[in-house]
Amino acid sequence: MKSIIFKMKYLYSLLLFIIFLSFSCQRTKTIQEVSENTDSLKINSNRIVNGIGETLIPKAKKAVSEWKEYRDVDEFIVKYYNISNMEALDNAKELSGLVQLMKDTIRVEKLKELNMVARFNVLYNETLRLTDMAAIPSISSEEVKEEVDKIVEVFSSVNAKINTIYKAEELQNLLEVDTEIPIGENETLELKKRREFDKKESLIREKFERKKPNKLIKPIKEKSEQTLIAPKKTIK
């Protein structure tokens, strides 16, 4: 009987030990998962996130469609809208090389003006600065983030300037429209109103000219009659 009781106590103790061991393993696994999630959050907090900047309007996009060097920069810089510090530094040299090719091979004549070239140079200088940061071991994450933000901002200003050039061209073409051309579907409401106003003004001017008396006829007629009548000679 005592042996049976002893065996029962032994079995209970063993069972409790197994339950405790199982609980401890489960708790350790939970702690590891929480730790992994925490590490993941730390990694994400080090990412540099920027909103999409200025994009090209359809007309400008069409104009640069054959400019491969610009398209290479445009496609490559997309990754800098959401990138880690390490990735930003690792890709800095390639980015600066692409920007250099772009600024040295401007294939669109309208984009060769000085203020446009100045923006390309500013963008190139910022990418070179990021490349230099990659060689500095003590560079901080905040400094990298600040430089990436500048690069994204400058590239957005490049696109904004390109858009401005082609918007100005559209406006110039609109102002040079011949008002004698028949009204088309694409003609603006403002031009239609202007045309109607010009027509009304022309009609009013014609009516006024027809009603205006010709004051020059009478004096000329009287003068001609006077010259035709010979003066009477006085008899002495």
Is 126 within 8 Å of 103 (Cβ atoms)? no
Phi, psi of 49 (to 5 degrees): -115, 130
* pLDDT number for residue 169: 87
Provide Rg for the chain, Cα atoms: 43
Mean of pLDDT values over 207-222:
53
Q: Is pLDDT of 235 > 60? A: no
Mean of pLDDT values over 71-95:
95
Coil vs helix vs strand at 82: strand
* pLDDT number for residue 5: 56
- Binned at pLDDT 50, 70 and 90, residue 4 comes out as low
- Binned at pLDDT 50, 70 and 90, residue 71 comes out as very high
Residues ≥6 apart with Cβ < 8 Å to 174: 188
* pLDDT number for residue 14: 63
* pLDDT number for residue 108: 95
* pLDDT number for residue 153: 96
Kind plus residue range of the DSSP H or E element containing 233:
none
- The identity of residue 206, as a single letter, is E
Among 46-55, 146-155, 221-230, name the one with the lowest average pLDDT: 221-230
Among 9-13, 44-48, 190-194, 217-221, name the one with the lowest average pLDDT: 217-221
- Binned at pLDDT 50, 70 and 90, residue 17 comes out as low
* pLDDT number for residue 41: 36
* pLDDT number for residue 120: 97
* pLDDT number for residue 170: 84
Mean of pLDDT values over 168-172:
86
Span 123-148, pLDDT tens digits: 999 999 999 999 999 999 999 999 99
What tokens appear for 67 in the block?
């400019």
Is 73 buried (19+), middle (13-18) or exposed (0-12) by CB count in 10 A?
buried
Beta strand segments in 43-189, E: 47-49, 82-84
Average pLDDT, rounded, for the chain: 77
Span 175-213, pLDDT tens digits: 765 444 554 544 556 666 666 766 766 766 666 666 555
Distance separating alpha carbons of residues 50 and 82, to the nearest angstrom: 6
Q: Is pLDDT of 9 > 70? A: no
Q: Please state, in angstroms and as integers, the Cα–Cα distance from residue 51 to each residue in 48, 78, 190, following that order.
A: 10, 10, 37
Q: What is the pTM for the complete model shown? A: 0.58
Q: Is pLDDT of 21 > 90? A: no
